[in-house]
Every structure is written in structure tokens, then in C-alpha cells.
Amino acid sequence: MSRDRNRLLLAAGFAPRYAERPLDDDALSAARDAVERVLRAHEPYPAPAFDRRWNIVMANRAAEPFLADVDPELLRPPVNLVRLGLDPGGFAPPVVNLTDVRAVFRSRITRQLAIAPDAELTALYEELLEPHSEDASSRSVASDVVIPMILRLDAREVRLFSAITTFGTPMDISLDEVAIVSYYPADTESAAYFEEPGARSAPAWRGGAAGENRPRDDRSVLGSVPV
């Protein structure tokens, strides 16, 4: 990772090679446009981009309807993808196989911490991912090729699998630590859900008025790519 290489260079008495600028810096406009292009091209399927601590930095419009009934407190920046996915006030209620999804997060973040220890990420792990007896799963995450996330939406099951994309050979630390998680339908029935008229409307999964927690203007709470 660029951050670790900078540390090694500094320890050896050399100047750091990699800059670190926020993603909205003018110098990263081309990279930001590239992220937006990837996110937009993935619609009508949801895709957020997140940083090394799993804080969402950008998302496409297809992700917005799934936030309709999320606790507004969880949508205060920085919006954390792990907390959003596992907190009872977040997106956990419609996830049928939450134990499997938690195990996937646990596996990924355990590997991440082994490579690059981070106090904030460790605190997130201890808060949401520490193994418990109720986490016993009927399947082994390590042995499965793909574990779909199964959602109960509008009285039907929607199955999604994910792929994580990172930039190749970035010369900026912030860009090096940005990743995009793209969700794809795992079967034809799930694909049909996104192709139906109104698929971008808020799905009903927690009760209450659909969209009552959504922003009142056209801006995304996650910094979505403009339509």
C-alpha cells in the first residue's frame, strides 16, 4: 500500500513518494471522474465507493432506494458501509442470511488488519464483527466460491453477489485506498427485480412510509453520481 511505502521511505531517511489528497481535490478530478463513470455504468445495480475504513465516499443512484428506511443517524457523515450493513437500524433487517454477510465482512477486515493495522478499523471490528455464538453458520465462508446476500424486498427474495474493484498503480494515497463494491444479481429472478418499472423506488422492508427518511432535495446523502 502507498501509505506503508511512504512510512518505509521516511524510516530510511527518504522523502515520501506518494501524495495524500482528499478525493475532491482538483488534482484528483480525473480519478474522481473515473470513479463516477464506473458507478454510473453499473446502474441499475447498486455500487458504493469506500475508503480504507469502509466509509462511503461516493455511490450511484441505484443505491439510494435501499436507504429509505435507514436510521438517519447512520446517514450522518462519515457513512460507514459495515455499520450500515450490520446495524439493526441500518440495512440488516431485510438481509435473510445476515450471519453469512457478517462472516464475509469479518473475513475481509481480518485480512485487511493483518496487512495494515488501524485503530479505527479495529474498533469497528470489535463493535460489529467480534464472533459470537449466534454467528454459527451452516456454510463455510472460506470454502464457498461466492456467497450471495439474500434480501427480502417487497415480499420476494433478491439475491446479490459482490465484486470489489480497486485502482491499479495509483500515485496518491487516497486513491490507493478507495475501492468500489459492485452488487450483481445472482439469478434471473433477482435481475428482473431491478429491471421492473419503479425498481429505483424505495423497497418496502421495514415498514413506515417509503422514503420518509430520504433527503428532501435531489442530492444524495452518500455523494451519489448525478443522474
The CB density around residue 137, as the number of other CB atoms within 10 Å, is 12
- pLDDT surpassing 50 at residue 9: no
Asked if the model's pLDDT at residue 31 lies above 60, the reply is yes
Q: What is the mean pLDDT of residues 185-189?
A: 95
Look at the block and give the residue holding cell 434480501: 151
pLDDT digits (tens, 9 = 90+) for 141-178: 544 557 899 999 888 999 999 999 887 655 545 567 78
Largest CA distance in the chain: 61
Burial of 102 (0-12, 13-18, 19+ CB in 10 A): buried
Are 24 and 49 in contact, with CB atoms under 8 Å apart? no
**Strand 48-50 vs strand 149-153: parallel, antiparallel, or unpaired?**
unpaired
The secondary structure of residue 80, as a DSSP letter, is B
Report d(CA 219, CA 68) in Å as an integer: 14
User: What is the per-residue pLDDT for 157?
Assistant: 94
Q: How far apart, in whole angstroms, are the C-alpha atoms of residue 7 and residue 13?
A: 10
